[in-house]
Amino acid sequence: MKKKTDKPRPNHKIKAFVDLMFDEIPYSPEASEAQPKIEKALGEQYDALCQEHNEGEALDLLLSEYGSLSKIAQLAGYTGEQALAWRNAGDAADLKTTKKLMRKQRRRTYMAALFSMFAFTELIWMIYNAVNLNAEFFFVTGMCAVFVLLALRRIRNLIKTERENRDAKYDNAAFSYLRALSDQYTKRLFNSVALLIGAAFVFIGSELSFYVFGNSKSAELAENFFSNMIMVEIPLFLLVKNLTLHRLIQKRIALPELKKAKKYGIFITILSLVFWVDVTLFTVIASRTISYPGNIFLAAGFVFAAIILLLDLTVRRSIAFRNLVFNPRRFAVVTAAVLLCSGFTLLNRDTWYTQSYINSVPVVEHNTHKIEYNDDTGVYTVTASTEDFKILHLTDIHIGGSLYSYNKDMKALKACFTEIEHTHPDLVIVTGDLCFPLGIMSMSLNNSAPVQQFAAFMRNTGIPWAFTYGNHDTETLSTLNKTELNEVYKSLSFKTSGNLLYPYVQPDIMGRNNQLIELRNSDGSMNTGLFLIDSNAYTGEGINVYDYIHDDQVDWYAGEVERMNAEAGHTVNSMVFFHIPLQEYKTATELYNAGSDEVRYFFGENPGDHGGITNDLVCCSDYPSKMFDTALELGSTTGFFCGHDHYNNASLEYKGIRLTYGMSIDYLAMPGIAKETKQRGAELITIHSDSTWDLEQIPLTSIT
């Protein structure tokens, strides 16, 4: 059994001799305490012999005089019976027994730490409810008491088992196992202290940053605080678990340098507190000059982790038996897991980098019209107060919502504002892909923050707006699925914002949102029906296999057209907005390129996907929709408007129906598109009181 002494003698031969004597002795607290004392006594005897003999002779005399364990024990003040008791391995626990006991204690420790974490969470929740006089106070208090009792029960079992195994002996295999555990939990304990302190500062700093710079309300702060408190709960669990297991091991075998370990723990705590206090002060001081101060904490976290790693590799080696045991496979697995989890977490973060610009957006001068909503049908009715009603068509805005996309998000929002300020529309309609939660392409999976940011942007302009979904708005790995995003939009809709015309009830048909906005003249007569239909996203049959407008959606559209016709007593004009183009867009483009007189050209061009994923001339679904043929049959719809193909922006008339591509806003999604300009802009639809309409393409370059 090989152990370190408190203060090793300079003569390594004496130390090696004592280590050899104790090598086959089972570990026990008495033997562990005796070894450094014996080494010290032998060293003093050796120094005395060196007064009369040279070093070699003195060492020979020492070894011949004290060549047995009992003799060196007696030199240090122990008896021969005590030395004999050290050698007795009959009552020493073997490796199997020790592992079994430690596994049981570890399970109890994990449960005690888990219940302690839950109790802490419930305690915070209890305090919040008590301050706000919420009815949940008594329930939360009861839950807190339950978790405290469960934690205490596990702790009691831990203590009872420890008392039963006090002063236990361990054979060499068991001792080596405990020594490895000691190194493991010594490392984890000090790292978890640093982790908890860092996590607490980052958590509080990010929450306050969200509250102050995200302009959230106190209720939103509380909700966000409790939903994100896992950032502190997990480090707290780790600290309680590691501290308890560290103490269990120390009850069996002491650290080689216990005093140094205590000093190192104090040093780590003070270092962590000083570091994060400095980061907090710097953030407060620099908050007015930094767009998103919360990122300072994120950057500081990486610096702090590097500092702790450096200490792990250097200073900590003096308090462990063996500082590090490098396991390449474990290192690779842990590193991959950490990168995957941290990357996924970062991609899902709610970020508000553009908020300072959004807050500065002024109200745009516009006409005021009467807007009503039918809670039963989900139909909005806009009664125009002017002869002409202007609709600005925007598409493919592609807000990423990450630090990576910040500059492009700003350009997209400013481009939208430029178009709105230039045209002073009565209504803005966005035909899909408002956000771009596409992982590493946008460095974000979050489709919540971009939606809320654009809604805030539009609310500040004061212009009413509506939208259709695009294929990117609810990607597979997006933070919010279509049901959750629907709830977000309803929370931002007309009854709350006064300008988002999103239906609270929708028809029971295919799609994430299908709605009708009725435009009426000032006398109440029906003017135009504005249909916003979901062209859906993907069929699920492969990568980028685009969906289409399904039959039940077309049937709903036909039913609403017939209803409006019956009410008005004549065929009511209508327009349809969606994201993915119908196959007839491709047919019309091909006929136009072939010089056919079946197609009438108005403006723009359709150059195709321009080096994108598909390189198709028109990126439509492979599945035909009966939408176009039904519209022809009904004779109501005179215009279709879509997006999706970022470079296509032509307006062609085919079989009497105007097929118009919207100019895209996109700075982010298509590779290289940020540097190109001629495809970027919008369209202004002017509907007259007699239901006729004009369409003007407004490239962004024509304004700026």
Where do the domains of the chain lie?
Answer: 12-87, 92-325, 369-703
- Residue whose pair of structure tokens reads 């500059």 in the numeric block: 407
Question: Which helix or strand (DSSP H or E) is residue 659 part of?
Answer: strand 657-661
Phi, psi of 602 (to 5 degrees): -115, -55
Instruction: Kindly calculate the radius of gyration of the chain based on its CA atoms and give it in whole angstroms.
Output: 37
Model pLDDT, residue 417: 97
**What does the pLDDT look like over 321-359, one tens digit per residue?**
776 555 677 767 777 877 777 666 666 666 777 888 999
pLDDT digits (tens, 9 = 90+) for 574-608: 999 999 999 999 999 999 999 999 999 999 999 98
* Per-residue CA distances from 560 to 379, 381, 523, 557, 582 (Å): 10, 14, 21, 5, 20
Residue 106, class by beta-carbon neighbours within 10 Å (0-12 exposed, 13-18 middle, 19+ buried)? middle
Residues 6+ apart with CB under 8 A from 496: none
Q: For 410, phi and psi rounded to 5 degrees?
A: -65, -45
Q: How far apart are CA 216 and CA 227, in angstroms?
A: 15
CB 394 within 8 A of CB 680: no
* Look-up of token digits 């000090």: 190
Cα separation of 662 and 427, whole Å? Answer: 15
- Strand, helix or coil for residue 535: coil
pLDDT digits (tens, 9 = 90+) for 161-182: 877 777 677 777 888 888 888 8
Cα separation of 12 and 35, whole Å?
15
- Tell me the C-alpha distance between 109 and 456, whole Å: 48
- Residues in Cβ contact with 374 at an 8 Å cutoff, skipping those fewer than 6 apart: 380, 381
d(CA 424, CA 462) in angstroms, rounded, equals 11
Cα–Cα distance, 258 to 289 (Å, whole number) = 47
pLDDT of residue 559: 97
Distance CA 398, CA 420 (A): 17
Q: Give Cα separations from 97 to 87, 101, 165 (angstroms).
A: 19, 6, 12
**Helix pair angle (55-65, 29-49), 10° resolution:** 140
Q: Is the pLDDT of residue 13 over 80?
A: no
Position 1 confidence tier, pLDDT thresholds 50, 70, 90: very low
Q: What is the band of 654 on the pLDDT scale with cuts at 50, 70, 90?
A: very high
φ/ψ of residue 360, rounded to 5: -90, -5
CA nearest neighbour of 669 among 649, 687, 650, 644: 644
Q: How far apart are CA 555 and CA 550, in angstroms?
A: 9
Pick the CATH number of 369-703 from 3.40.225.10, 3.30.530.20, 3.60.21.10, 1.10.1060.10: 3.60.21.10
With 80 as the cut, is the pLDDT of residue 449 above it? yes
Q: What is the pLDDT of residue 10?
A: 46
Model confidence band, residue 61 (pLDDT cutoffs 50, 70, 90): confident
Answer whether 28's CB lies under 8 Å from 83's CB: no
CA–CA separation, 162 vs 418, rounded Å? Answer: 73
Rounded-to-integer distance, Cα 448 and Cα 401, Å: 9
How does the average pLDDT of the chain come out, rounded?
86
The pTM of this model reads 0.66
Is-contact 461 469, C-beta < 8 A? Answer: no
The four Cα atoms 310, 314, 315, 321 give a dihedral, to 10 degrees, of 130
Residue 532 corresponds to which tokens in the numbers above? 């916003």
Q: Is 601 helix (H, G, I), strand (E, B) or coil?
A: strand
More confident residue, 294 or 98: 98
Q: Where are the alpha helices (DSSP H) in 287-313?
A: 294-313
Least confident of 87-101, 193-207, 412-426, 617-631: 87-101
Burial class (CB in 10 A: 0-12, 13-18, 19+), 205: buried
For the chain, give the number of residues: 704
pLDDT at 310 over 90: no
Structure tokens that stand for 587 in this block = 């047919």
